[in-house]
Amino acid sequence: MNSDIKDKILDTIVDMLRTPIIQHRYGEYPHVYFVTRPKCKVYVGSGSYSNKFYPIKISSQKNQTLTIGKYTSIGDSLNLIMSGGHNYELLTTYPFRYLFRKNMKTFSSGNINIGNDVWIGSDVTIVGGNKNIKIGDGVVIGSKSLITSKQKLDDYGIYAGIPVKLIKYRFDRITIKKLKKLKWWDLPKQFLINNLELFYEKDPDKVIKELNKEINKGINK
């Protein structure tokens, strides 16, 4: 057996060992993967994905909703804590009702809405409070960052830290406004594939102009 075949066999074995036993996927290819099936409602837009070898961990309740927009890239081991919290406003944070089964209701938080074209780095944690969490379109979140319900992540902002802080915006205000109006993620998938190289242009204004030209030619969103 030559070395190339041995390497392929070893790679296959490693991939099998790294793949979680329990795994649930949502959305179209390339899919968003969860370690366990979420209790909440889940909506995933076209093109969004996560690493199946390091899927999303989530704690949630049936009355909650997780929304992930289109073409969002989710890094390894995203942790979504939407429920199971402890109410620190009470005399004790100890979960007497839950543990002694007199009342199985847990202290749950609001919903989580992740926008379109978002890039979430590896090992990010999103902790819900009593309010909904909204991550805007085009947002970038640095690895190992912490997001809480007290924070608002504006469109096309770059955030990092514990808790996250705004580092800078990806583009100027005028360009962001144009991108929000364009909503390229709503264009037909085949059109996006056919014009793939356009998205690798470094000048965002040029891309916006070219896309608008195609839209004016009759491309339906």
- Would residue 86 show up in a list of annotated catalytic residues for this protein? yes
Catalytic residue among 86, 168, 189, 209: 86
Is the CB of residue 207 less than 8 Å from the CB of residue 187? no
d(CA 134, CA 113): 5
Report how far apart, in Å, the C-alpha atoms of 52 and of each of 25, 85, 123, 154 are. Answer: 8, 27, 14, 28
Kindly write down the DSSP assignment for every residue of 109-152, as one continuous string.
---EEE-SS-EE-TT-EEE--SS-EEE-TT-EE-TT-EEETT--
Pairing of strands 32-34, 125-127: unpaired
Q: Which positions are catalytic?
A: 86
